[in-house]
Amino acid sequence: MCDAERSERDCSFGFRKVPLAEAVGMVLGHDITEIRREEFKGRAFRKGHVVRSEDICHLQRLGKEHVFVMTIGDDEMHEDEAAWELSKVLAGEGVTVQGEPSEGKINVVANRDGLLKVNVEGLRRLNMVGDLMCATLHTNTRVHKGKVVAGTRAIPLVLKRSVIDEARAISDRFGKLLEVRELRKPRAGVVITGNEVYSGRINDAFGPVIQRKIEEYDGVIVGTHVAPDDEETICRRLRELIDAGADLLVTTGGMSVDPDDVTRFAVRQLGATDVTYGSAVLPGAMILIAYLEKTGVRVQDSGRNGQYPEPDGSSSLIPIIGLPACGMYHQRTVFDLILPRILAGERIGRGELAELGHGGLCLNCRECRFPVCPFGK
Predicted pLDDT of residue 355: 96
**pLDDT score for 299:** 39
The yes-or-no verdict on residue 314 having pLDDT over 90 is no
Indicate whether 87 pLDDT > 80. yes
* pLDDT value at 359 more than 80: yes
pLDDT at 157: 81
> How large is the average pLDDT for residues 265-292?
94
Q: Indicate if the pLDDT at residue 313 is higher than 80.
A: no
The pTM (predicted TM-score) of the whole model is 0.81
Question: Is the pLDDT confidence value at 315 over 80?
Answer: no
**pLDDT at res. 14:** 61
Q: Are strands 248-252 and 288-293 parallel, antiparallel or unpaired?
A: unpaired
Q: What is the mean pLDDT of residues 189-210?
A: 90
Of residues 302 and 69, more confidence is placed in 69
Which is higher by pLDDT, 15 or 369?
369
Note the pLDDT of residue 298. Answer: 44
Give the pLDDT band of residue 69 (cuts 50, 70, 90).
Answer: confident
| Residues 287-299, mean pLDDT to the nearest whole number | 76
CB 233 within 8 A of CB 289: no
Q: Which of 25, 53, 30 is nearest to 43 (CA)?
A: 30
CA distance 114 to 40: 45
pLDDT tens digit string along 8-18? 444 445 678 99
CB 254 within 8 A of CB 229: yes
Domains annotated on the chain, with CATH: 3-70 (3.90.105.10), 76-181 (3.90.1170.30), 187-355 (3.40.980.10)
Mapped onto helix, strand or coil, the DSSP state of residue 117 is strand
Residues 130-139: tens digit of each pLDDT: 999 999 999 9
Q: What pLDDT does residue 205 have? A: 87
pLDDT over 90 at 270, yes or no: yes
Residue 77 banded pLDDT, cuts 50, 70, 90: confident
Asked if 145 contacts 113 with a C-beta cutoff of 8 angstroms, the reply is yes
* Average pLDDT, rounded, for the chain: 88
Cα 62 to Cα 18, 33, 57, 67, 69, distances in angstroms: 16, 8, 9, 11, 17
Instruction: State the angle between helix axes of 263-270 and 231-243 in degrees (0 to 180), rounded to the nearest 10.
Output: 50
pLDDT at site 258: 64
